[in-house]
Structure 1
Amino acid sequence: MLFRPQYTINTIYNLDPKQLKEIGIKAVFSDLDNTLIAWNNPNSAKEMDDLNQKLKANGIKLVVISNNNAERISKVLNPYGIEFIAKARKPLPTGINEELKKLNLNKDEVMMVGDQLMTDIPAANRAGVKSVLVEPLVKTDKWNTRINRFFEKFIFAFLKMRKPVTFKETLQNG
Protein backbone atom coordinates (compact mmCIF):
# COMPACT_ATOMS: atom_id res chain seq x y z
CA MET A 1 0.00 0.00 0.00
CA LEU A 2 1.30 3.43 -0.95
CA PHE A 3 0.88 5.08 2.47
CA ARG A 4 1.65 2.11 4.75
CA PRO A 5 5.17 2.34 6.19
CA GLN A 6 7.14 -0.87 6.26
CA TYR A 7 8.49 0.09 9.69
CA THR A 8 7.75 2.58 12.45
CA ILE A 9 9.86 3.94 15.31
CA ASN A 10 9.20 6.88 17.60
CA THR A 11 12.33 8.79 16.52
CA ILE A 12 15.16 8.37 14.02
CA TYR A 13 17.54 8.73 16.97
CA ASN A 14 16.51 5.32 18.29
CA LEU A 15 17.63 3.48 15.15
CA ASP A 16 20.11 0.77 16.11
CA PRO A 17 22.99 0.53 13.61
CA LYS A 18 23.60 -3.12 14.52
CA GLN A 19 19.97 -3.99 13.74
CA LEU A 20 20.21 -2.02 10.48
CA LYS A 21 23.31 -3.98 9.47
CA GLU A 22 21.50 -7.25 10.28
CA ILE A 23 18.79 -6.39 7.77
CA GLY A 24 21.37 -5.34 5.17
CA ILE A 25 21.08 -1.54 5.37
CA LYS A 26 24.05 0.35 3.92
CA ALA A 27 22.43 3.81 3.75
CA VAL A 28 19.75 5.66 5.68
CA PHE A 29 17.99 8.31 3.64
CA SER A 30 16.18 10.78 5.85
CA ASP A 31 13.86 13.71 5.61
CA LEU A 32 15.20 16.84 7.33
CA ASP A 33 12.47 18.91 8.99
CA ASN A 34 10.75 17.27 11.96
CA THR A 35 12.66 14.05 11.29
CA LEU A 36 16.31 15.00 11.92
CA ILE A 37 15.85 18.53 13.27
CA ALA A 38 12.96 20.64 14.48
CA TRP A 39 11.73 22.59 11.44
CA ASN A 40 11.66 25.83 13.42
CA ASN A 41 15.10 25.38 15.03
CA PRO A 42 17.85 24.59 12.51
CA ASN A 43 20.40 24.88 15.31
CA SER A 44 19.08 21.70 16.96
CA ALA A 45 21.62 19.58 15.07
CA LYS A 46 23.73 18.00 17.86
CA GLU A 47 21.65 14.81 17.92
CA MET A 48 21.78 14.66 14.12
CA ASP A 49 25.57 14.81 14.19
CA ASP A 50 25.71 12.10 16.88
CA LEU A 51 23.46 9.85 14.78
CA ASN A 52 25.56 10.46 11.69
CA GLN A 53 28.75 9.53 13.57
CA LYS A 54 27.12 6.40 15.03
CA LEU A 55 25.90 5.27 11.60
CA LYS A 56 29.25 6.09 9.96
CA ALA A 57 31.12 4.06 12.61
CA ASN A 58 28.99 1.10 11.54
CA GLY A 59 29.55 1.58 7.82
CA ILE A 60 26.12 3.12 7.18
CA LYS A 61 25.80 6.36 5.21
CA LEU A 62 23.29 9.06 6.16
CA VAL A 63 21.87 11.13 3.29
CA VAL A 64 19.12 13.74 3.59
CA ILE A 65 16.40 13.64 0.92
CA SER A 66 14.36 16.83 1.30
CA ASN A 67 11.84 18.90 -0.60
CA ASN A 68 13.51 22.04 0.81
CA ASN A 69 15.82 24.21 -1.27
CA ALA A 70 19.58 23.66 -1.27
CA GLU A 71 20.33 26.93 0.54
CA ARG A 72 18.16 25.99 3.54
CA ILE A 73 19.50 22.44 3.71
CA SER A 74 23.16 23.31 3.23
CA LYS A 75 23.09 25.78 6.14
CA VAL A 76 22.13 22.91 8.43
CA LEU A 77 24.10 20.01 6.94
CA ASN A 78 27.35 21.40 5.54
CA PRO A 79 28.97 21.92 8.97
CA TYR A 80 28.48 18.18 9.57
CA GLY A 81 29.49 16.90 6.15
CA ILE A 82 26.13 15.25 5.52
CA GLU A 83 25.20 14.87 1.86
CA PHE A 84 21.74 15.77 0.62
CA ILE A 85 19.33 15.92 -2.28
CA ALA A 86 17.35 19.18 -2.35
CA LYS A 87 14.01 19.71 -4.07
CA ALA A 88 13.52 15.94 -4.09
CA ARG A 89 9.89 16.22 -5.26
CA LYS A 90 8.55 13.73 -2.73
CA PRO A 91 6.08 11.93 -2.92
CA LEU A 92 7.73 11.12 -6.25
CA PRO A 93 10.68 8.72 -5.93
CA THR A 94 12.96 10.99 -7.99
CA GLY A 95 15.38 12.07 -5.24
CA ILE A 96 15.62 8.59 -3.75
CA ASN A 97 16.27 6.98 -7.13
CA GLU A 98 18.90 9.61 -7.95
CA GLU A 99 20.79 8.89 -4.73
CA LEU A 100 20.46 5.10 -5.14
CA LYS A 101 22.13 5.37 -8.52
CA LYS A 102 24.80 7.78 -7.26
CA LEU A 103 25.73 5.47 -4.35
CA ASN A 104 25.39 2.35 -6.53
CA LEU A 105 23.19 0.65 -3.94
CA ASN A 106 20.41 -1.89 -4.34
CA LYS A 107 16.95 -0.93 -3.14
CA ASP A 108 17.03 -3.49 -0.33
CA GLU A 109 20.17 -1.82 1.09
CA VAL A 110 18.42 1.49 1.74
CA MET A 111 15.89 2.76 4.24
CA MET A 112 14.01 6.07 3.88
CA VAL A 113 12.99 7.66 7.20
CA GLY A 114 10.46 10.47 7.44
CA ASP A 115 7.67 11.99 9.48
CA GLN A 116 5.07 12.47 6.73
CA LEU A 117 2.64 9.95 5.34
CA MET A 118 1.88 12.23 2.39
CA THR A 119 5.45 12.66 1.11
CA ASP A 120 8.17 10.51 2.71
CA ILE A 121 6.41 7.15 2.86
CA PRO A 122 4.94 7.18 -0.69
CA ALA A 123 8.32 8.28 -2.10
CA ALA A 124 10.06 5.38 -0.34
CA ASN A 125 7.39 2.86 -1.32
CA ARG A 126 7.39 4.01 -4.94
CA ALA A 127 11.20 3.75 -5.04
CA GLY A 128 11.02 0.25 -3.57
CA VAL A 129 13.21 1.01 -0.54
CA LYS A 130 12.31 0.25 3.07
CA SER A 131 10.02 2.96 4.45
CA VAL A 132 10.16 4.10 8.07
CA LEU A 133 7.66 6.48 9.64
CA VAL A 134 8.70 8.43 12.74
CA GLU A 135 6.74 10.78 14.93
CA PRO A 136 7.43 14.46 14.15
CA LEU A 137 10.06 15.96 16.47
CA VAL A 138 7.81 18.93 17.23
CA LYS A 139 4.04 19.23 17.05
CA THR A 140 4.02 22.37 14.89
CA ASP A 141 4.66 22.60 11.15
CA LYS A 142 5.34 25.13 8.43
CA TRP A 143 2.18 26.33 6.70
CA ASN A 144 2.65 24.05 3.67
CA THR A 145 3.13 20.96 5.84
CA ARG A 146 -0.03 21.75 7.82
CA ILE A 147 -2.03 21.01 4.67
CA ASN A 148 -0.46 17.54 4.46
CA ARG A 149 -1.10 16.91 8.16
CA PHE A 150 -4.80 17.63 7.63
CA PHE A 151 -5.03 14.88 4.99
CA GLU A 152 -2.79 12.55 7.00
CA LYS A 153 -5.52 12.29 9.65
CA PHE A 154 -7.76 10.55 7.11
CA ILE A 155 -4.98 8.24 5.94
CA PHE A 156 -4.11 7.30 9.53
CA ALA A 157 -7.80 6.52 10.14
CA PHE A 158 -7.89 4.31 7.05
CA LEU A 159 -4.66 2.52 8.01
CA LYS A 160 -5.95 2.03 11.56
CA MET A 161 -8.98 0.18 10.19
CA ARG A 162 -6.61 -2.44 8.77
CA LYS A 163 -3.86 -2.38 11.39
CA PRO A 164 -3.03 0.47 13.79
CA VAL A 165 0.14 2.49 13.18
CA THR A 166 2.05 2.64 16.45
CA PHE A 167 5.39 4.12 17.48
CA LYS A 168 7.79 2.50 19.94
CA GLU A 169 11.43 2.95 20.88
CA THR A 170 12.62 0.17 18.59
CA LEU A 171 12.12 -0.48 14.89
CA GLN A 172 8.96 -2.49 14.33
CA ASN A 173 6.85 -3.57 11.39
CA GLY A 174 4.47 -0.82 10.33
Structure 2
Amino acid sequence: MLHPSLRAATQRLRPKERLESLFQLTPEWLQARRLKGVMLDLDNTLVPYGFRGEPTAELLAWVERLKRAGVKLFLVSNARRKRLAYWSEKLGVDGTGLAFKPWFGFKKGLRRMGLSPQEVVAVGDQLFTDVLGGNLAGLHTVLVPPLSRRELGYTRLVRRLERWVLDQLG
Protein backbone atom coordinates (compact mmCIF):
# COMPACT_ATOMS: atom_id res chain seq x y z
CA MET A 1 0.00 0.00 0.00
CA LEU A 2 1.30 3.44 -0.92
CA HIS A 3 1.72 6.21 1.61
CA PRO A 4 -1.03 8.85 1.04
CA SER A 5 1.46 11.54 -0.03
CA LEU A 6 3.09 9.20 -2.55
CA ARG A 7 -0.32 8.07 -3.76
CA ALA A 8 -1.26 11.70 -4.48
CA ALA A 9 1.97 12.22 -6.41
CA THR A 10 1.42 9.12 -8.54
CA GLN A 11 -2.00 10.34 -9.69
CA ARG A 12 -0.18 12.20 -12.48
CA LEU A 13 0.77 8.75 -13.77
CA ARG A 14 -2.82 7.51 -13.89
CA PRO A 15 -4.23 7.37 -17.41
CA LYS A 16 -7.81 8.62 -17.71
CA GLU A 17 -8.59 5.47 -19.69
CA ARG A 18 -6.98 2.28 -20.90
CA LEU A 19 -7.78 0.69 -24.24
CA GLU A 20 -6.81 -2.74 -25.50
CA SER A 21 -6.10 -1.35 -28.97
CA LEU A 22 -5.37 1.99 -30.54
CA PHE A 23 -8.08 1.22 -33.08
CA GLN A 24 -10.76 1.41 -30.37
CA LEU A 25 -10.20 5.15 -30.52
CA THR A 26 -12.83 6.07 -33.13
CA PRO A 27 -14.45 9.34 -34.19
CA GLU A 28 -17.48 8.32 -32.12
CA TRP A 29 -15.33 7.60 -29.06
CA LEU A 30 -13.70 11.02 -29.41
CA GLN A 31 -17.00 12.81 -30.01
CA ALA A 32 -18.53 11.22 -26.89
CA ARG A 33 -15.70 12.84 -24.89
CA ARG A 34 -15.81 16.16 -26.81
CA LEU A 35 -12.27 15.61 -28.09
CA LYS A 36 -11.12 17.13 -31.38
CA GLY A 37 -7.47 16.13 -31.50
CA VAL A 38 -5.23 13.15 -30.87
CA MET A 39 -1.54 13.30 -29.92
CA LEU A 40 0.08 9.98 -30.66
CA ASP A 41 3.28 8.35 -29.52
CA LEU A 42 5.11 6.64 -32.37
CA ASP A 43 7.16 3.65 -31.20
CA ASN A 44 5.16 0.74 -29.81
CA THR A 45 1.94 2.77 -30.05
CA LEU A 46 1.52 3.35 -33.81
CA VAL A 47 4.26 1.03 -35.07
CA PRO A 48 6.55 -1.52 -33.43
CA TYR A 49 9.71 -0.03 -31.94
CA GLY A 50 12.35 0.51 -34.63
CA PHE A 51 10.07 -0.63 -37.48
CA ARG A 52 10.84 1.08 -40.77
CA GLY A 53 8.61 -0.17 -43.53
CA GLU A 54 5.16 0.47 -44.83
CA PRO A 55 2.29 1.21 -42.45
CA THR A 56 -0.34 -1.49 -42.24
CA ALA A 57 -3.57 -1.08 -44.19
CA GLU A 58 -5.41 -1.04 -40.85
CA LEU A 59 -3.30 1.86 -39.55
CA LEU A 60 -3.70 3.86 -42.77
CA ALA A 61 -7.47 3.30 -42.77
CA TRP A 62 -7.70 4.36 -39.10
CA VAL A 63 -5.73 7.56 -39.75
CA GLU A 64 -7.87 8.39 -42.80
CA ARG A 65 -11.11 7.72 -40.91
CA LEU A 66 -10.10 10.14 -38.15
CA LYS A 67 -8.98 12.78 -40.66
CA ARG A 68 -12.26 12.49 -42.63
CA ALA A 69 -14.12 13.05 -39.35
CA GLY A 70 -12.19 16.31 -38.87
CA VAL A 71 -9.97 15.02 -36.06
CA LYS A 72 -6.56 16.70 -35.84
CA LEU A 73 -3.66 14.29 -35.41
CA PHE A 74 -0.14 15.02 -34.17
CA LEU A 75 2.82 12.70 -33.52
CA VAL A 76 4.75 13.32 -30.30
CA SER A 77 7.83 11.13 -30.09
CA ASN A 78 11.18 10.99 -28.36
CA ALA A 79 12.50 9.33 -31.53
CA ARG A 80 15.07 11.11 -33.67
CA ARG A 81 13.68 13.75 -35.99
CA LYS A 82 14.62 11.71 -39.07
CA ARG A 83 12.55 8.75 -37.87
CA LEU A 84 9.64 11.02 -36.95
CA ALA A 85 9.80 12.72 -40.38
CA TYR A 86 9.70 9.32 -42.09
CA TRP A 87 6.49 8.29 -40.30
CA SER A 88 4.98 11.75 -40.49
CA GLU A 89 5.27 11.57 -44.28
CA LYS A 90 4.01 7.98 -44.51
CA LEU A 91 0.92 8.78 -42.44
CA GLY A 92 0.36 12.35 -43.59
CA VAL A 93 0.42 13.56 -39.98
CA ASP A 94 2.39 16.49 -38.52
CA GLY A 95 4.57 15.84 -35.51
CA THR A 96 7.64 16.57 -33.44
CA GLY A 97 10.62 14.30 -32.81
CA LEU A 98 13.04 14.53 -29.90
CA ALA A 99 10.01 15.81 -28.02
CA PHE A 100 11.66 15.46 -24.60
CA LYS A 101 8.55 13.83 -23.19
CA PRO A 102 7.14 14.24 -20.73
CA TRP A 103 7.86 17.97 -20.92
CA PHE A 104 7.86 19.90 -24.19
CA GLY A 105 6.34 17.94 -27.05
CA PHE A 106 2.76 18.13 -25.83
CA LYS A 107 2.79 21.92 -25.51
CA LYS A 108 4.29 22.21 -28.98
CA GLY A 109 1.60 19.89 -30.33
CA LEU A 110 -1.19 21.96 -28.79
CA ARG A 111 0.18 25.11 -30.44
CA ARG A 112 0.46 23.44 -33.84
CA MET A 113 -2.99 21.87 -33.59
CA GLY A 114 -4.60 25.10 -32.43
CA LEU A 115 -6.59 23.26 -29.77
CA SER A 116 -6.97 23.61 -26.01
CA PRO A 117 -5.79 20.83 -23.67
CA GLN A 118 -9.41 19.90 -22.90
CA GLU A 119 -9.97 19.10 -26.59
CA VAL A 120 -7.05 16.69 -27.00
CA VAL A 121 -6.24 13.12 -25.99
CA ALA A 122 -2.68 11.84 -25.63
CA VAL A 123 -2.30 8.17 -26.54
CA GLY A 124 0.75 6.08 -25.76
CA ASP A 125 2.16 2.89 -24.33
CA GLN A 126 4.26 4.32 -21.47
CA LEU A 127 3.30 5.89 -18.14
CA PHE A 128 6.43 7.96 -17.52
CA THR A 129 6.47 9.66 -20.91
CA ASP A 130 3.10 9.51 -22.66
CA VAL A 131 0.66 9.49 -19.74
CA LEU A 132 2.67 11.73 -17.42
CA GLY A 133 3.33 14.24 -20.20
CA GLY A 134 -0.29 14.28 -21.28
CA ASN A 135 -1.52 14.70 -17.72
CA LEU A 136 0.97 17.50 -17.01
CA ALA A 137 -0.28 19.26 -20.16
CA GLY A 138 -3.91 18.87 -19.02
CA LEU A 139 -4.87 16.40 -21.77
CA HIS A 140 -7.19 13.42 -21.61
CA THR A 141 -4.81 10.43 -21.48
CA VAL A 142 -5.12 6.90 -22.81
CA LEU A 143 -2.71 4.04 -22.19
CA VAL A 144 -2.53 1.26 -24.77
CA PRO A 145 -0.47 -1.94 -24.62
CA PRO A 146 2.89 -1.82 -26.44
CA LEU A 147 2.79 -3.31 -29.95
CA SER A 148 6.07 -5.15 -29.52
CA ARG A 149 8.29 -6.51 -26.78
CA ARG A 150 11.30 -5.10 -28.65
CA GLU A 151 12.47 -1.82 -27.09
CA LEU A 152 15.44 -0.06 -25.54
CA GLY A 153 17.06 -1.72 -22.51
CA TYR A 154 16.17 1.07 -20.12
CA THR A 155 12.56 0.99 -21.36
CA ARG A 156 12.33 -2.66 -20.31
CA LEU A 157 13.44 -1.63 -16.80
CA VAL A 158 10.94 1.22 -16.71
CA ARG A 159 8.16 -1.19 -17.75
CA ARG A 160 8.70 -3.12 -14.50
CA LEU A 161 8.22 0.07 -12.50
CA GLU A 162 5.17 0.95 -14.60
CA ARG A 163 3.55 -2.41 -13.81
CA TRP A 164 4.11 -1.81 -10.10
CA VAL A 165 2.66 1.73 -10.30
CA LEU A 166 -0.40 0.48 -12.20
CA ASP A 167 -0.92 -2.23 -9.57
CA GLN A 168 -0.74 0.41 -6.82
CA LEU A 169 -3.14 2.74 -8.62
CA GLY A 170 -5.65 -0.07 -9.06
TM-score range (shorter-chain normalised) is 0.7 to 0.9
> Is it true that 1:106 corresponds to 2:116 in the alignment?
yes
2:7 is aligned to: none
Calculate percent identity across the aligned residue pairs: 32
Structure-2 separation of matches of 1:126 and 1:68? 20
1:84 is aligned to: 95
> Is it true that 1:139 corresponds to 2:163 in the alignment?
no
What is the correspondence of 1:42-57 to structure 2 with a 5 Å cutoff?
Answer: 42-43=52-53, 45-46=55-56, 47-57=58-68
Deviation at 1:157, TM superposition (A): 2.3
1:19 is aligned to: 29
* Structure whose residues are more often helix by fraction: 2
Structure-2 separation of matches of 1:77 and 1:103? 15
Structure-1 separation of matches of 2:63 and 2:145? 19
Deviations 1:53-78 (A, max 9, x none): 01001110121100111101112221
Give secondary structure in 1 for the equivalent of 2:122: strand
Give secondary structure in 2 for the equivalent of 1:55: helix
Deviations 1:89-140 (A, max 9, x none): 1122x11111112222111110000000111100000000000000111223
Give secondary structure in 1 for the equivalent of 2:12: coil
1:170 is aligned to: none
Q: Note the residue ranges of structure 2 that are not aligned, 5 or more in a row.
A: 1-10
